[in-house]
Copies of this chain bind each other. A is one copy, B any other.
Amino acid sequence: MAKKLTTREQDYSQWYNEIVQGADLAENSGVKGCMVIKPYGYAIWEKMQAELDRMFKETGHVNAYFPLFIPKSYFSKEASHVKGFAKECAVVTHYRLKDAEDGSGIVVDPTAKLEEELIVRPTSETIIWDTYRKWIQSYRDLPILVNQWANVVRWEMRTRLFLRTTEFLWQEGHTAHATKNEAIEETKQMIGIYADFAERFMAMPVVQGVKSVNERFAGAEETYCIEALMQDGKALQAGTSHFLGQNFAKAFDVKFATKEGKKEYVWASSWGVSTRLMGALIMTHSDDFGLVLPPKLAPFQVVIVPIYKGEDQLTQVSEVALKVKKSLEAKGITVKFDNRDTHKPGWKFAEYELKGVPLRLALGTRDLENGTIEVARRDTLEKETHQITDIEIKVENLLEQIQDNLYKKALAFREEKTYKTDSKDEFNKLIEQGGFVYAHWDGTSETEELIKQETKATIRCIPLDAKGEGGVCLFSGNPSSKRVLFAKAY
């Protein structure tokens, strides 16, 4: 614990890894590219899940569960979809192991070969639309507003904890609608929910927009996204919502009878966020002392550390500490009282700093005499001594302030690092140094590809709030009607 972290300045990527591991969030497993999400990290993910799940249910969605495996033939039915995912699929080919005949151990039983290979789902559009065919006959069966919490697998060659792993956890919504317009409205509603979640709970400002054709989800007609700016100036795509048109309905022959008795293909959306949000959360707020968590997602918002010598003092301090804990909990604040006698207070302070606990309360015998308690904010690292009376109101206010401050700080950082340019040289320089760059683009995939090759920047999105503004594409010189958002990205 005493070891200092690598600073962001020294090595941003190393800093990130040290926080993920030092704060006990996750670690690499013995399975290449697959992570173990440790209890403290998983507790944050559970908080995210609970909030998102509530938001989904409030907007009429229900949860369900579809198979992990997708028959290869299903996978092939939507042409652009299979093209997008074929190169990163885990394939199940056999269903039994046996003892090797030469006694050398356990081997795959060659007689237990599957007639058709099964793909471990990288996303579930195909298996779900194969199911929806059975669920949908008439307009009365629509809309279907289903979400699933699940694990998915995409075989990645270069992985990083939370940001890009072979297996990850996510939710995937899959909705079916009678009209194109309703499906588009749903797609937009969900990206709005993601943005709301990112800003209000993760305290992470995001830009909402649509992807260029090149960056669209494989099988979508339009992909909406939220994009956040990390502290190293790189963008992170934090959630996507896809308008799928009738592509999957056509691939899986899902038609419904309209009120007028006509048969029509069903319209679709799909949308998802994943444990990648954990990476975004870490990189948005953390500092050189460790993780910084917004109170709304912290597994415990307050830690109380007793300062004492000997059993008697611990008993005295504990009595008051537990009273404080109880009064905080009565306000719905989550509290840990760390009375372990195996570690010194200083060690505990460093641990909770590294773990990003929003508020640390320290209570010693002198405090008991004075009726005080020491309060330390993780976001500003400020320490103050307060009267212990009404501490629950003080703490409640501070937690709100921290949540608010983290959002404002992240927003200020993003605004500072957001640029607008009409010069190609400056564009190259800005992209090189990192940040969001709004620039004109001629709307073609060719130019987009060229820019990517020259600068490593991608179009993060065409922002929803982009104003019509005539201009000239920086790279092709062709006309452009509005600026799009460029950045290097995770």
Chain A residues near B (Cβ < 8 Å): 27, 29-31, 34-39, 42-43, 45-46, 62-72, 74-76, 82, 86-99, 105-106, 108, 117-120, 127, 130-131, 134, 140, 146, 150-151, 153, 155, 167, 169, 342
B108 and A117 contact, CB distance less than 8 A = yes
A127 and B31 contact, CB distance less than 8 A = yes
B106 and A82 contact, CB distance less than 8 A = yes
Q: Looking at the complex, which one of B86, B94, B150 makes contact with A98 (CB distance below 8 Å)?
A: B86
Determine how many copies of this chain the complex contains.
2
Docked Cα-Cα span, A133 to B38, in Å, equals 14
B91 and A62 contact, CB distance less than 8 A = no
B30 and A42 contact, CB distance less than 8 A = no
Docked Cα-Cα span, A89 to B96, in Å, equals 5
A476 to chain B, nearest CB (A): 33
B31 and A70 contact, CB distance less than 8 A = yes
B127 and A29 contact, CB distance less than 8 A = yes
A159 to chain B, nearest CB (A): 12
Docked Cα-Cα span, A63 to B42, in Å, equals 7
A128 to chain B, nearest CB (A): 9
Q: Looking at the complex, which one of B66, B108, B151 makes contact with A29 (CB distance below 8 Å)?
A: B66
Docked Cα-Cα span, A153 to B69, in Å, equals 10
Contacts of A167 in B (CB 8 A): 67-69
A105 and B93 contact, CB distance less than 8 A = no
Docked Cα-Cα span, A151 to B65, in Å, equals 10
B30 and A71 contact, CB distance less than 8 A = yes
B146 and A30 contact, CB distance less than 8 A = no
With both beta carbons as reference points, the residue of chain B lying nearest to A53 in the complex is identified as B46
Docked Cα-Cα span, A119 to B45, in Å, equals 26
In the complex with contacts A42-B64, A96-B88, A69-B31 CB distance below 8 A: yes
Docked Cα-Cα span, A134 to B28, in Å, equals 11
A87 and B94 contact, CB distance less than 8 A = no
In the complex with contacts A36-B67, A65-B169, A120-B120, A86-B92 CB distance below 8 A: no
Docked Cα-Cα span, A18 to B293, in Å, equals 49
Contacts of A99 in B (CB 8 A): 86
Contacts of A34 in B (CB 8 A): 67-69
A260 to chain B, nearest CB (A): 15
Q: Looking at the complex, which one of B76, B90, B97, B120 makes contact with A89 (CB distance below 8 Å)?
A: B97
Contacts of A146 in B (CB 8 A): 39
Docked Cα-Cα span, A34 to B130, in Å, equals 14
With both beta carbons as reference points, the residue of chain B lying nearest to A154 in the complex is identified as B95
In the complex with contacts A30-B127, A106-B76, A120-B120, A65-B93 CB distance below 8 A: no
Docked Cα-Cα span, A51 to B90, in Å, equals 34
Docked Cα-Cα span, A120 to B95, in Å, equals 10
Q: Looking at the complex, which one of B30, B43, B82 makes contact with A74 (CB distance below 8 Å)?
A: B30
B36 and A63 contact, CB distance less than 8 A = no
With both beta carbons as reference points, the residue of chain B lying nearest to A98 in the complex is identified as B86
B42 and A72 contact, CB distance less than 8 A = no
A39 and B64 contact, CB distance less than 8 A = yes
B130 and A30 contact, CB distance less than 8 A = yes
B64 and A31 contact, CB distance less than 8 A = no
A64 and B36 contact, CB distance less than 8 A = yes
Contacts of A130 in B (CB 8 A): 29-30
B108 and A93 contact, CB distance less than 8 A = yes
A75 and B31 contact, CB distance less than 8 A = no
Q: Would you list 16 pairs from A and B whose C-beta atoms are within 8 A, ordered by A residue? A: A29-B67, A29-B130, A30-B74, A36-B67, A36-B131, A39-B63, A42-B62, A65-B169, A68-B120, A68-B151, A69-B90, A88-B95, A89-B95, A91-B97, A93-B108, A140-B342
